[in-house]
Amino acid sequence: MAQRLPVLYNKKPCYDIVYARSFDGLAEEMQELGVSEKRLCIITDSTVDTLYGESVLKLLESNCVKAVKYVFPAGEANKTLDTVKEAYKVLIEEGFDRKDMLIALGGGVVGDLTGYVAATYLRGIDFVQIPTTLLSQVDSSIGGKTGVDFDGYKNMVGAFKMPRLVYMNMKVLETLEERQYFSGFAEVMKSALIKDAAFYEWLIENMYEICEKDMDILEEMVMRCTGIKKLVVEKDPTEQGDRALLNLGHTIGHAIEKAKNFELYHGECVALGTIAAAYISWKREMLSMEEYYEVRDMFVPFYLPITVDDIDPQEILKLTKSDKKMKAGQIRFILLKKIGKAVIDSTVTDEEILAAINEIYFSDEDAHA
């Protein structure tokens, strides 16, 4: 029997997260949402389509009015309004109306983009998240943030739109490309660092099993992360306050992602951004030197970068200013008061940010030293 976790929105039950080890229970979950009366459109990317597109379509098509699939080329470069426009065209051609439903089958790009289509098509239709990457299971599929990139700026256009269901099949993690898998681990570390010191210790203890994708350990890890995320988004669904804590590592991370033209994965940039934030926390004497180096080195066994080359630190600093995490022109930086407790801080100076960027920057001089 699959485990489930209900998520509230405005203190009322809104959707369940279902933790399963196959897609077998999906049709029944969808029945509960009344799909026998609905058209369904599975939105997925070319990579996930090859793996699961047809099997998920088959599972669902006999139980609904009509099921169609819209597949776009995989990659962050396609998380744009152009792809959204193509999706609208399919929905219009297939006669989708407001009572029909979308299904996001894929990772963070698919989930964010499908959610945005769902938030805007006919002023909003229902959607379901079927996250197929570690990153989307532990973070992006939960909490209703949807959107696309604009002119290379991450998630610059978007909306809050809660899914009707988040169905996780843990087994998909087994087929996940290694780099994608480890990229997701950066968001796992983030969850532990901001809210749960015991979970951070658990990650250290279970490092080997996590790298080896032990199913029981993975399930526990995903459940603990989603438990943290649930508590945060239930308290502050539209990021008026504490939800911003989930952005640990994202201000500098997003800047690196853009500067590197999306050649590094999101989680890889979050790892770098988290190290930079931990560095500032150490310099402010919130973390000890030992804690800073431990946090930094925790990314190494997971093949996540702890330095980045070929960047211009001044450009990264400039790009941090165009990230969305600003209030009244001031960056809302997330720092670590201690392991397991993050804080929002609007007083971080350009000098501190630059020093942190230089800490993770592997320059030509380092190479020749």
Residues forming the site for ligand GLY (CB under 6 A): 139-140, 143, 145, 243, 246
Between 194 and 276, CB nearer to ligand GLY? 194
Q: How far is the CB of 130 from ligand GLY (least distance, A)?
A: 18
Q: How far is the CB of 57 from ligand GLY (least distance, A)?
A: 28
Phi then psi for residue 4, to 5 deg, are: -145, 155
By beta carbon distance, the residue nearest ligand GLY is 246
CA 30, 34, 36, 37 torsion-angle sign? negative
Between 75 and 241, CB nearer to ligand GLY? 241
Q: Which two tokens stand for residue 356?
A: 């942190």
Q: How far is the CB of 259 from ligand GLY (least distance, A)?
A: 20
Alpha-carbon distance of 237 to 217, in angstroms, equals 29
Helix axes 266-283, 350-360, angle to 10 degrees: 120
Q: How far is the CB of 164 from ligand GLY (least distance, A)?
A: 18
Q: How far is the CB of 184 from ligand GLY (least distance, A)?
A: 12
Our CA angle for 73, 102, 236, nearest 5°, is 100
Residue showing tokens 């930094």: 296
Between 230 and 284, CB nearer to ligand GLY? 230
Which of 251, 308, 257, 255 is CA-nearest to residue 280? 251
Q: How far is the CB of 202 from ligand GLY (least distance, A)?
A: 21
Determine the residue type at 256. I
